[in-house]
Structure 1
């Protein structure tokens, strides 16, 4: 009985390890993709092997792209603030009467 508990505990630790490493999500994604194929491939193992590599690349690419989006949003916010500041400073030097006139 004690042997059964130890084995069960090791299995649970291993399962948590796989989940934490993203293995379970990757496998699930590949299996879902295989399930959704209208025409099933003749060699399912080959399909899984090919697409499993793509899932890990996609995950790494996704993380890099998400970081890039965060960086670009921060840059955009800084530039917007700088633009507002420069417009306000420019207003100090432009006479109010020229705002309504058109340049020829």
Structure 2
């Protein structure tokens, strides 16, 4: 009796949180695939991951990566300019041949 009650509570919890609906949609999508994927589990993971709400921390990290890429690109450009400047300003000593 207690086990049935716990199961029913858990089922209602899954229903309220949208888990059952989401799982059903993904399983129906897999069922309706004309060519079944080699890995049903990968299909489920991909489709469940795509439907999950975006974690704010992930978005913050994406922004940080974009900023770091911009800084990296700027440093690469500066490095390129400095290398060119060094090549232009590089003085190669000239030693004429001695004639004796």
Q: Within 5 Å, which residues of 2 pair with 1:64-79?
A: none
The answer to which structure, 1 or 2, has the higher relative contact order (CA under 8 A, 6+ apart) is 1
SS class of match (1:48)? helix
Runs of at least 5 residues in structure 1 that lack an aligned partner in the other structure: 58-104
Distance 1:27 1:55 in 2: 10
Q: Report deviation, 1:53.
A: 1.6
Residue of structure 1 aligned with 2:41, choices 35, 42, 45: 45
Larger radius of gyration: 2
Superimposed CA distance per residue, residues 34-80 of structure 1 (whole angstroms, 9 cap, x where no aligned partner): 000000001001100100122234xxxxxxxxxxxxxxxxxxxxxxx
Structure with a larger share of its residues in helix: 1
Q: TM (normalized to structure 1)? A: 0.49
Q: TM (normalized to structure 2)? A: 0.51
Alignment correspondent of 1:7: 3
Runs of at least 5 residues in structure 2 that lack an aligned partner in the other structure: 54-100
Deviant stretches of 4+, over 6 Å: none
